[in-house]
Amino acid sequence: MASTRTLFLSCFHGGGAEVSRHLALRPRYPSNPRRPSRSAAVAGEGSEGGGSGGTTGDLEAAKGTAEKEDEEEKVSVFAVTGMTCAACAGSVEKAVKRLPGIHDAAVDVLGGRAQVVFYPAFVSEEKIREAIEDAGFEAKLINEEVREKNILVCRLHIKGMTCTSCTSTVESALQVLPGVQRASVALATEEAEIHYDRRIIAASQLIHAAEETGFEAILITTGEDRSRIDLKLDGLLTERLTMILKSSIQALPGVEDVKVDTELHKITVSYKPDQTGPRDLIEVIESATSGDVTASIYAEAEGREHHRHVEIKRYRQSFLWSLIFTIPVFLTSMVFMYIPVLKDGLEKKVVNMMSIGELLRWILSTPVQFVIGRKFYTGAYKAIRHGSPNMDVLIALGTNTAYFYSVYSVLRAATSENYMSTDFFETSSMLISFILLGKYLEILAKGKTSEAIAKLMDLAPETATLLMYDNEGNVVGEKEIDSRLIQKNDVIKVVPGGKVASDGFVIWGQSHVNESMITGESRPVAKRKGDTVIGGTVNENGVLHVRATFVGSETALAQIVRLVESAQMAKAPVQKFADKISRVFVPLVIVLSLLTWLVWFLAGRFHGYPYSWIPSSMDSFQLALQFGISVMVIACPCALGLATPTAVMVATGVGASQGVLIKGGQALESAQKVDCIVFDKTGTLTVGKPVVVNTRLFKNMVLREFFDYVAAAEDNSEHPLAKAIVEHAKKFHSEENHIWPEARDFISVPGHGVKAKVFDKSVIVGNKSFMLSLSIDIPMEASEILIEEEENAHTCIIVAMDQEVVGIVSVSDPIKPNAHEVISYLKSMNVESIMVTGDNWGTANAIGKEVGIEKIIAEAKPDQKAEKVKELQEKLWRWLVME
């Protein structure tokens, strides 16, 4: 629902080192006094100036405006556990704001925190904590500075992992480090996410610990500064130029750290976005090197994509080369032996009892075993060295056993005149080939799981129009720039149909913005001076000038991507169980393989084989060897460790691209327990775009002429219903861009309708109350139609010309084609469906009847919808307790 997503977004800017500034402190209950009555006389002026917005400026200014000690404000942060949705956040906020002496409060449901600005003379931190606990949640005061965040999240790219044993090894090595609170390693993304205390351990130590396990670790982010940028350097980098670059950038105000990687031609800069930005950095680089070196944004995603393509290419080439050698081995051992002419040729003896076929298979399988399959040797060596046997160990043991036994058998035949050798060269070479094929397909599958994340990032526009001002604040020009080069406080021009390039607020213009990609609300939202906009949303009409406030990784879109990535890193309960099994799986398989070999060897040696299909020429050792290899290789725990994370990644990624944010595998696993779903109406059950469905005329007019008058008046309006009428009127004209008659003396009354002079007629288009306010009589026939259309969930727009009603246009938001089917399917699963909407009961009942929903909550305001969900959850909880 829109209210849930809105509160969800308000908490997005709550990370980093500026928690207090980014938490959106907007009072939900404006009736509560900003200062307690006891201090109203003294501090009334300061309170009045603060307004009710509770914005960033309130927090910054509030601490220094009190004149007496007992009036000084204090900011405290509480860790709140048990919150699951925006309704929980609302409950906590409401409980806190009921206390005397509370200036403001904001709740971050994602971070599990509540930030409270209060007057210590009237309320204590203990009282606030008790109020939160009385609301049904656990609360604990965080004894740290609000502006200092010591627990950071470091992300590493781990190269070389092949199975869950590898992830468990890296995870365990990181988890035992002092200062690490939590470490999670995902095989599907090949990434590690480490929550660590920067006062105890540094990111470089985390990288070293990961590399000590035998894998390559590449830093993605340390989490220390979200304003960090990687720039790609083009040009010849000498040692002298590198020194000049580093010193020039360090001299810029706000630059905190500079790292130059000459091999990758990359420079990494951490900076304070309030003082400098990427454009300043690029200008300094190019001016310091006199143009010899140019700089551009280093796309991290492109780097990862390049690495993935290189890895795919490497496995494909390895598999193809292995096929070149393995196919002849397979043919000589499995196919040609049944062709008499070829069989005779292959069985010719070369040295004693060693045949041509055995020699060929030995020669062909050797490069597969030691050249193409060398990565399994290196992986097995690293795993054994660190005491954590993995899939590579199983592959190396199985193929080496088959290969070296075959070598022993062939050499013995070459030195004997009567020994009949049996080789398994095809076993080792074919196993390596099939495993390489599996690895190739696995990497392709892992690449597809990140496509949805890439689609999310594509929502942001590639370019932006930057406005340039003179010293007097007048616009003197505009320039098209890469949207990633936008800096804080830049003013961006957004044209109709264009995307908003960054989060910010409107300083000029008015329009409607489609925010459905963020909020899920399909209806465009009216924007005018002072309103906030979200990066990636679409400007419907009108030109906007937007001042950027959050750029780069601070934008809401970037944080949604980060949330989805974190969700993909989170392990579902079933995955954790699988990982526990995988840790002991490989050693157990090795033991079982040895036991299998021993049992079959002893059974054959002392009792003979009870099965007729076993060749009499095959001795017990050879048969036991085959069964041992089979158990060892087939039991590789690849699917066990990769199936669940791959499924979670696909689900969270696809869900995000469809506007559904899933917080990890646990949420997906818990979804099977859902027995009630609450649907919003607009944009969820309905299409979300109004269309004209019916027209009634009360005067003898041609329908085309009628809509020409109405469209001429409504064409100047920015209301979504007006646009629906104009779009419908275009159907009466063959030309694509029809020019409507001129509308003079246009007046728009928000929430009611419009007035205009079209040709010689005074045209009034609006709702019933608008007509009555202009003393226009509504005929009985029109009143009956209004009632009838409302029962059908249609919005009626009355059209009057020269103070007389001439027609009614019915506009409706159509039901989605599959809505009824979805509700029916949920009923078959015994899942109850409830619809909550802000529309009137007549419209709500009509929609509910059409889609098959019986339980309806109507006339609910946006900020009440989350409360309704909370009430339903509480009713369910009470019912479970009674049961």
pLDDT in tens, 214-248: 788 887 777 765 567 788 888 888 888 888 888 88
Asked whether the predicted pLDDT for residue 254 surpasses 50, the reply is: yes
Average pLDDT (819-842) is 86
CA dist 808 and 831 (Å) reads: 40
pLDDT digits (tens, 9 = 90+) for 92-135: 888 898 888 888 888 876 667 888 888 888 888 888 988 888 88
Question: What is the model's pLDDT at position 853?
Answer: 92
Question: What is the model's pLDDT at position 799?
Answer: 94
Asked whether the predicted pLDDT for residue 578 surpasses 80, the reply is: no
CA dist 561 and 460 (Å) reads: 12
The residue type at 369: Q
Asked whether the predicted pLDDT for residue 638 surpasses 70, the reply is: no
What is the side-by-side order of every strand in the sheet holding 855-857? 676-680, 832-836, 855-857
Question: What is the model's pLDDT at position 55?
Answer: 37
Q: At what angle are helices 374-385 and 164-175 packed, to 10 degrees?
A: 30
Question: What is the model's pLDDT at position 365?
Answer: 93
Who wins on pLDDT, 552 or 280?
Answer: 280
Instruction: Report whether 399 contacts 376 (CB < 8 A).
Output: yes
Which two three-digit tokens encode residue 274?
């309030």
CA dist 4 and 8 (Å) reads: 6
Asked whether the predicted pLDDT for residue 621 surpasses 70, the reply is: no
Asked whether the predicted pLDDT for residue 454 surpasses 90, the reply is: no
* Residue 792: partners with Cβ closer than 8 Å, 6 or more residues away: 810, 812, 846
* Other Cβ atoms closer than 10 A to 562: 17
pLDDT tier for residue 16 given thresholds of 50, 70 and 90: very low
The residue type at 348: K
* Other Cβ atoms closer than 10 A to 458: 11
Query: What is the greatest pairwise CA distance in the chain?
Result: 120
Asked whether the predicted pLDDT for residue 328 surpasses 90, the reply is: yes
Per cent of the chain over pLDDT 90 is 11
Who wins on pLDDT, 151 or 313?
Answer: 313
Q: Which residue has the tokens 């327990």?
A: 673
Asked whether the predicted pLDDT for residue 63 surpasses 50, the reply is: no
Q: Where are the beta strands (DSSP E) in 752-803?
A: 753-758, 761-766, 795-801
**Across all residues in the chain, what is the average pLDDT?**
76
Which two three-digit tokens encode residue 554?
């601070």
Q: Which residue has the tokens 């002026």?
A: 45
Pick the range with the lowest mean pLDDT from 27-36, 428-437, 808-817. Answer: 27-36
**In angstroms, what is the C-alpha Rg of the chain?**
35
CA dist 626 and 623 (Å) reads: 5
Instruction: Report whether 869 contacts 673 (CB < 8 A).
Output: no
Residue 618 three-state SS = coil
Average pLDDT (723-736) is 86
Who wins on pLDDT, 599 or 732?
Answer: 732
Helical (H) or strand (E) element with 414: helix 391-414
Average pLDDT (145-159) is 69
CA dist 877 and 211 (Å) reads: 48
CA dist 350 and 60 (Å) reads: 91
Q: Which residue has the tokens 């740290």?
A: 144
Instruction: Report whether 681 contacts 847 (CB < 8 A).
Output: yes
